[in-house]
């Protein structure tokens, strides 16, 4: 895959918590990295410390948002407030499951915007947790690329608006690995030579999905025999894994303690910009393509402000600016036309159609969910 190392016309941003990465430590430490010089109305809630607590009342006249880290910043929030007069309060989470658990436990009643991923949108629709959107109140939906006009996870965008998308792959240190990694099989073929120097995502659907893909099966298999085979294959590599982790691997990867990690593209791109030794690949047999969305929960106390926020982010100029400053791929076709060629030609950020054709979105697996969870508990506790 050709590399486009210089993504931006500005200095690359330092590594910090991005879409999936969620730094452990104090809330103050996170705020210092995620939202530099954080404004008074932004708070960061750790999933491990206070995920069930209730945030400041959503009836305080502010827009409370629950999102992945690094999906907004001071500049965007200030621009929104200047445009609408509405102040923004942002809490962040580290996984769809953390977000869902908090919402179901009643700790999310103050939020008017949340950012679930594709498969979680469908799950939340089935649980009756999402507001059906009024299309007459949305501006710019026609600018979404074709694949997000009528997505499988939410036909007709009845409950969600696509915000960003990306892939999952392997991030590795070119000076430390043996040979050139091309596919998932590399992990198993080189597990002895790189013992305790590789990590997989702490995410049941991503890691089980990648293992299924390495066996020639779908990321979303519901066949009990295939899922069991993937479980057994994971058990093979488990003794040689450093750990299952979705964040916090950067120092170990740059320092040499790790040589390869399974990573989300938006995190990996930041890492490759940080150090020329690091490369990101989408495995040849395929991987996952994820979409993160904006939705309004049925418990939203500030629905009008929520529509304002969605429309603000649908503005092509706002979307393009977010891509350049926050390093994620946009589904907005007009915004894409505004981006510099050095961004749109970077295949880490915008993979080719050929590569995407080998990838799958993560979809709900129905009754097989319990089987995934059962095997995941076994493999992670083994």
pLDDT at 16 over 90: no
Q: Same domain for 195 and 52?
A: no
**Mean pLDDT of the 246-275 span:** 89
Q: How far apart are CA 174 and CA 180, in angstroms?
A: 8
More confident residue, 342 or 224: 224
Give CA–CA dist 360/357, Å, rounded: 8
Provide the pLDDT for residue 34: 29
Asked whether residue 284 falls in the same domain as residue 299, the answer is no
- Pull the structure tokens for residue 344: 């749109």
Whether residue 320 has pLDDT greater than 80:
yes
Rounded to 5 degrees, what angle do the CA atoms 28, 34, 39 make? 70
The total domain count for the chain is 2
User: Which residue range forms the structural domain that includes residue 264?
Assistant: 168-288+355-381
Same domain, 94 and 236: no
Give yes or no for a contact between 44 and 90, defined as CB atoms under 8 angstroms apart.
Answer: yes
Q: Is residue 213 part of a domain?
A: yes
- How many other C-beta atoms can be found within 10 angstroms of the C-beta atom of residue 260? 24
Task: Let me know whether 216 and 308 are in one domain.
Answer: no
CB 285 within 8 A of CB 218: no
Same domain, 368 and 240: yes
* Residue 352: strand, helix, or coil: coil
306 in a structural domain: yes
In the block, residue with structure tokens 């589904």: 331
- Are 240 and 371 in the same domain? yes
Residue-wise pLDDT for 190-249, tens only, equals: 999 999 999 999 989 999 999 999 999 999 999 999 999 999 999 999 999 999 998 789
Q: 129: closest CA among 97, 103, 95, 93?
A: 103
pTM for the structure as a whole: 0.78
What is the overall mean pLDDT for the chain?
84
Residues 209 and 242 in one domain: yes
Higher pLDDT, 42 or 320: 320
Predicted confidence at residue 58, as pLDDT, reads: 52
The band of 250, judged by pLDDT with boundaries at 50, 70 and 90, is confident
Examine residue 21 and state whether it is found in any structural domain, yes or no: no
Residue 1: pLDDT over 50: no
Residue 19's pLDDT band (boundaries 50, 70, 90)? very low
What does the pLDDT look like over 343-355, one tens digit per residue?
A: 898 888 899 889 9
pLDDT digits (tens, 9 = 90+) for 36-93: 223 223 334 333 334 333 444 456 789 999 998 778 888 889 999 999 999 999 999 8
**pLDDT for position 59:** 62
- Over range 127-131, report the average pLDDT: 97
Whether 251 and 373 share a structural domain: yes
Per-residue CA distances from 220 to 131, 209, 210, 330, 362 (Å): 27, 7, 10, 24, 6
Please indicate, yes or no, whether residues 120 and 224 belong to a single structural domain of this protein.
no
Check whether residue 244 and residue 359 sit in a common domain.
yes
Residue 9 pLDDT level (bands cut at 50, 70, 90): very low
Residues 201 and 106 in one domain: no
326 in a domain, yes or no? Answer: no
- Kindly state whether residues 223 and 363 are assigned to the same domain: yes
Can you give the CATH number for the domain in which 204 is found?
3.40.190.10
């Amino acid at each position: 895959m050709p590399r486009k190392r210089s993504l931006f016309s500005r200095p690359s941003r330092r590594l910090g918590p991005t879409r999936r990465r969620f730094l452990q430590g104090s809330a103050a430490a996170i705020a210092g990295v995620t939202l530099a010089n954080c404004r008074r109305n932004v708070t960061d809630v750790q999933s491990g410390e206070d995920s069930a607590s209730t945030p400041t009342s959503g009836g305080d006249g502010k827009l409370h948002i629950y999102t992945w880290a690094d999906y907004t910043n001071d500049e965007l929030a200030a621009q929104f407030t200047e445009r609408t007069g509405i102040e923004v309060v942002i809490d962040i989470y580290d996984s769809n499951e953390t977000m869902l658990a908090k919402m179901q436990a009643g700790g999310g009643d103050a939020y008017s915007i949340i950012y679930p991923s594709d498969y979680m949108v469908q799950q939340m629709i089935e649980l009756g947790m999402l507001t059906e959107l009024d299309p007459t109140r949305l501006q710019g939906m026609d600018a979404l690329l074709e694949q997000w006009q009528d997505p499988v996870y939410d036909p007709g965008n009845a409950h969600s608006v696509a915000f960003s998308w990306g892939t999952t792959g392997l991030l590795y240190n070119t000076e430390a690995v043996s040979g050139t990694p091309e596919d998932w099989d590399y992990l198993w073929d080189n597990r002895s030579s790189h013992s305790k120097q590789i990590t997989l995502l702490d995410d049941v659907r991503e890691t089980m999905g990648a293992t299924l893909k390495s066996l020639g099966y779908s990321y979303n298999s519901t066949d009990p025999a295939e899922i069991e085979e993937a479980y057994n294959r994971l058990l093979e590599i488990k003794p040689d894994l450093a750990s299952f982790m979705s964040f916090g691997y950067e120092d170990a990867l740059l320092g040499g303690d790790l040589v390869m990690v399974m990573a989300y593209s938006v995190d990996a791109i930041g890492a490759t910009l940080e150090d020329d030794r690091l490369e990101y690949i989408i495995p040849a047999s395929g991987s996952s393509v994820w979409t993160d969305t904006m939705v309004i929960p049925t418990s939203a106390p500030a629905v009008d402000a929520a529509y304002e926020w969605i429309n603000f982010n649908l503005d092509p100029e706002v979307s393009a600016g977010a891509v350049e400053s926050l390093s994620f791929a946009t589904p907005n076709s007009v915004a894409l036309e505004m981006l510099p060629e050095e961004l749109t030609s970077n295949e880490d950020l915008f993979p080719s159609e050929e590569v995407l054709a080998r990838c799958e979105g993560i979809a709900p697996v129905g009754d097989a969910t319990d089987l995934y969870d059962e095997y995941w508990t076994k493999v992670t506790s083994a």
